[in-house]
Amino acid sequence: MNETQASQVLYDCKDGIATITLNRPEKLNAFSDDTVRQLAAALDKFDRDDEALTAILCGNGRAFCSGADVKARQARSKEDLQKSGGPSAKDAKSADILASSINWKPVICAVHGYAVGLGIGLAMDCDLVVGEEGARFQITETNRGLAGSGKIMAVMGYRGQGGFATEVTLTGRFFTSEEAHAAGVIDRVAPKGKYMDVAMDLAKQINRHPPLAVRASIMQRRWEVADRKKEALRYASLNKLYLSEDFAEATRAFVEKRPPGKFHAR
């Protein structure tokens, strides 16, 4: 069985809590287009599952998610990027993956290891975030020459401190669960090896309440987040930085595992 046929996202439900697991451990759960499609299908299954009240999104292996699979998505020809309107296929865009809900059930993200690029964007979109002690987050879009960092910065600013969100976006530096929690960006810091336990405890607390009241709050939060992201995405789509020379050089440097050459703002 090849990777496309294999389950890159796993789904399980027990005692009212669904577990949705990214399952590309050999790639540190980096997202290909097919991974995005499978995650969308799993979230839709959760949304329609009468037994599931709350979901926990997590990752197999050493990390939650190392971001987009650069070789599979960003390292495409300029012609392909132009046709698809960016690094992802038109039916595999992750920016609004939690916005197209019917029942508005809460999703908790449980992060360990790394949440980078698309991974941190996905975590920020979730309704609550648990980060294991020492887990490392990074917004990579700026140093890859993309404008997509704007939407992550906007959601981070909504969740916590706008100044912190701006700084980590512009510098592209790693920051820890502890820093993220101090800035109000994530909700819990879990001891080593206990991130799923902490997420499960949060889910159980939520599930004690009337589901419709919980979902009304989730609906309001996600609509507010969607409004912020919509503005950021409008600027990103107008800039089309994925067609720039600087983006091409940053991508080549990443694939070739070397420092990028001089950027020319074109």
> Tell me, what's the pLDDT at 234?
65
> Tell me, what's the pLDDT at 243?
76
d(CA 59, CA 24): 8
What secondary structure, in 3-state letters, does 83-102 show?
Answer: HHCCCCCCCCCCCCCCCCCC
CB contact set of 22 (below 8 Å; sequence gap of 6+):
8, 9, 29, 35, 39, 57, 58, 59, 60, 64, 65
- The answer to whether 64 touches 123, Cβ cutoff 8 Å, is yes
Six-digit token string for 62: 């050493």
Q: Which of 99, 119, 121 is nearest to 219 (CA)?
A: 99
Q: How far is CA 235 from CA 148, 174, 232, in A?
A: 9, 25, 5
> Tell me, what's the pLDDT at 266?
79
Distance, first Cα to last Cα, the chain: 43
> Tell me, what's the pLDDT at 100?
78
d(CA 81, CA 174): 28
How do the domains of the chain map onto residue ranges? Answer: 9-193+211-255
CB contact set of 97 (below 8 Å; sequence gap of 6+):
36, 39, 40, 43, 122, 125
> Tell me, what's the pLDDT at 97?
81
Average pLDDT per 10 consecutive residues for the chain, totaling 266 residues: 69 98 96 92 96 98 89 57 57 70 95 95 95 95 68 84 90 95 97 98 98 96 85 64 76 79 82
Phi and psi at residue 136, to the nearest 5°: -115, 135
- The answer to whether 39 touches 96, Cβ cutoff 8 Å, is no
Coil, strand or helix: which one is 32? Answer: coil
CATH code of the region 9-193+211-255: 3.90.226.10
> Tell me, what's the pLDDT at 77?
55
Q: Which of 163, 50, 67, 53 is nearest to 111 (CA)?
A: 67
